[in-house]
Structure 1
Amino acid sequence: MKKTFDTLFQGQLHCNQYEQGYRFSVDAVLLAHFCRLQKSDVRVLDLCCGCGVVGLILAYRHPCVNISAVDLQPCMIELVVENVRSNGYTDRFTAINGNVGNIEQYSRPESFDLVVCNPPYGKIAGGRHNLIEEVAIARHEIIGDLQSFVRAAAFAVKNRKKVVFVYPAAHTGMLISAMYTKRLTVKRIQSVYSYPGLQNARLVLVEAVKNGGEQCEVLPPFYIYSQKNGGYSPAMEAMYRE
């Protein structure tokens, strides 16, 4: 299958993707930059990793972390392995072909300092599925629903450590509710809009802590584009540079 060669950080990080298959979007870039890591946070788990771009960004920005990236689709894992090798991260990046529903098979309980997830959120019964199977699996809840991904994150993350999700803003309540049932307390949240002036947000970024306290920080809105039909906002452009 034909691939494209894409770069971030002014060419310092590169990522091969299938030209006709599932391709990462701004969701992944936003998710990676929303993560806050401390010096003690050395083990990161990326659930539903796709081509591995979230883990690659974290590995680039945080040289001390070790990444484990999980995806159900062998073709995606092949891309992850290729991208990890080409960026020189083989000593601290592990690709796992597995289903989040079986998280116990490849993760010990409470063994990660940070778990990140950009889960598929298209409903199986709703909308039109993409004809390319790998895209359909990546975008629709074919192999696991939101609860499955939240359960896996809660299982793998250490006590008092963080879980970070990106999800459609219209379903924020579902995400928070699912987290609450697994003792993941929302500590930081940010709405993402396509551009200023819109009433409804497009995405929501949520950071939760396992058995965390009650206080929650609500961040100012984030805008992907500077205006309708305009280019990226300065904040969005910065995420591709640094």
Structure 2
Amino acid sequence: VLARINLSASLVAIENHPEMAALAERNISHNGLDNRAIVHAEDVINLRKCYPDSTFDLVVSNPPFRKAGSGKVSPKAGRDAARHESTAGLSDFIAAAKYLVKPSGRICFIQLPSRLPEFMSLAAQAKLSVLRLRMIHSNLKSPATMFMAELAKGRRSVPIVEPPLFVRDMGGEYTDEVWR
């Protein structure tokens, strides 16, 4: 999706789990993005060894949604690692994003609504300003299932709470906004 929004952007994906990194590499190849995107198989807590400070214009983070020992455990190791914190917690992902983004850059996260208070607190502790928040709902009548947040370092801002994003209409079809 990001590759199609900005056709001149180079993309770097960070994935800790080897099977998921291999899947990401296959997806890059399948989508013809080999010349613009790479996958770096690394743990988020080691990124300071891999990249200099303030490397990226945009950092998009999709960290594990659940704390270790909470929620259902998947029998597939890669899927479970993607869903549950193991080597790094939400604070580590926020710290890594702050380290990697340029002073004029932006950081985007997606996370469970139940973790919003923790997320806001950790962002404030990291001296990151939350610029925008948006709740994601499965349909018009469901409670939020995720939230998206846009952050920046070195800027003061009152967060803008965007209108909700509805994934499906009441007939079960994807909404026009999701298709865009």
TM-score by length of 2: 0.92
Match of 1:120 among 49, 64, 77: 64
* Separation (CA, whole Å) in 2 of partners of 1:194 and 1:92: 32
**1:87 matched residue in structure 2:** 31
Q: Which runs of 5+ in 2 are unaligned?
A: none
Per the TM alignment, residue 168 of structure 1 is displaced from its structure 2 partner at its CA by 0.8
Match of 1:206 among 119, 124, 149: 149
**2:45 matched residue in structure 1:** 101
1:31-73 per-residue CA deviation (whole Å, 9 max, x = no partner) reads xxxxxxxxxxxxxxxxxxxxxxxxxx21122111011111111
* Separation (CA, whole Å) in 2 of partners of 1:64 and 1:141: 33
Per the TM alignment, residue 201 of structure 1 is displaced from its structure 2 partner at its CA by 1.6
* Separation (CA, whole Å) in 1 of partners of 2:12 and 2:166: 30
SS at 2:130 equivalent = strand
* Separation (CA, whole Å) in 1 of partners of 2:27 and 2:167: 26
Match of 1:187 among 120, 127, 131: 131
1:72 aligns with 2:30: no
**2:161 matched residue in structure 1:** 218
* Separation (CA, whole Å) in 2 of partners of 1:128 and 1:79: 23
Match of 1:233 among 168, 175, 178: 175
**2:84 matched residue in structure 1:** 140
C-alpha contact 1:170 1:201 (8 A) present in aligned 2? no
Root mean square deviation, CA, Å: 1.6
SS at 1:202 equivalent = strand
Aligned length: 180
SS at 1:188 equivalent = strand
Identical columns (%): 26
Q: Which runs of 5+ in 1 are unaligned?
A: 1-56
Per the TM alignment, residue 206 of structure 1 is displaced from its structure 2 partner at its CA by 0.4
Per the TM alignment, residue 232 of structure 1 is displaced from its structure 2 partner at its CA by 2.1
C-alpha contact 1:193 1:202 (8 A) present in aligned 2? yes
Per the TM alignment, residue 135 of structure 1 is displaced from its structure 2 partner at its CA by 0.8
* Separation (CA, whole Å) in 1 of partners of 2:77 and 2:162: 36
SS at 2:86 equivalent = coil
Per the TM alignment, residue 211 of structure 1 is displaced from its structure 2 partner at its CA by 1.4
Match of 2:93 among 149, 173, 184: 149
